[in-house]
Amino acid sequence: MGLRSLKDSLKAVMTIELTGRQEQILNIVKDNGPITGEKIADQLSLTRATLRPDLSILTMAGFLDARPRVGYFYTGKTGTELLTDKVKKITVQDYQSIPVVVDESSSVYDAICTMFLEDVGTLFVVDKQAALVGVLSRKDLLRASIGKQDLEAMPVSIIMTRMPNITICQKDDLIIEVANKLIEKQIDALPVVKKKADGNFEVTGRVTKTNITKVLVDLSNNQLL
């Protein structure tokens, strides 16, 4: 998925599609709320058991609010507003994946092999204390491989992007903020870091465009209700 496609997908997912019956339920609650499930079922000439899944979905999604012995209320929020609320609760730790790291003394040749074997687009470079010191992208390795350089003798530290010129994130950051960073910086991945006692950063995970795509898929499948 390209950065433009990712941006388009972030916009496109801001729509919740309801079934015809769910739309009918919403209209009934809007006009008559608070109203019990039994009365909603009567107006639709259906059983309470038949409506239970729809009422559960509408309540969990935030369209309706339910109060014991009172009934259902319409929250007044649109599908876009509800989905926005949901997205703003998702943090990096919910979707981060395992980082792939290489030592700063590794050769460019070894880094290319690691990237190929691990099937990733970004490598994070660490020093002997496991602190983040650099990032390697496919473009970095491709540029280094063009020409007559001895890739086995060239350390990755020569071609990597160094700290502090690395965009980072932490586990408690909102995933939507990280997605915006990926788009704005036009990069494929961000390291998830934890600050060490010495002030340096330890790499604990990564967030990629694939992780963001997983968020979109889960949203579209209502798996975040």
Show the CA angle centred on residue 76, arms to residues 31 and 63, nearest 5°: 90
Q: Which two three-digit tokens encode residue 197?
A: 């006692």
Same domain, 69 and 157: no
Same domain, 123 and 22: no
What does the mean pLDDT of the chain come to? 88
Q: How confident is residue 225, by pLDDT bands cut at 50, 70 and 90?
A: very low
As for how many domains the chain has, the answer is: 2
Sign of the dihedral defined by the CA atoms of residues 9, 217, 221, 74, in that order: negative
Last residue of some domain: 52, 69, 86?
Answer: 86
The answer as to whether 223 is a domain residue is no
Query: What is the pairing mode between strands 132-137 and 64-67?
Result: unpaired
The answer as to whether 5 is a domain residue is no
What is the domain extent for residue 82? 11-86
- Residue 178, pLDDT above cutoff 80: yes
Same domain, 109 and 209: yes
Task: Give residue 99's pLDDT.
Answer: 97
In terms of Cα–Cα distance, which of 158, 111, 162, 170 is closest to 135? 162
pTM score: 0.68
Task: Give residue 14's pLDDT.
Answer: 47
The answer as to whether 173 is a domain residue is yes
Same domain, 125 and 211: yes
The answer as to whether 48 is a domain residue is yes
- Residue type, position 218, single letter: D
Lowest mean per-residue pLDDT among 55-64, 141-150, 170-179, 182-191: 55-64
Same domain, 202 and 114: yes
The answer as to whether 61 is a domain residue is yes
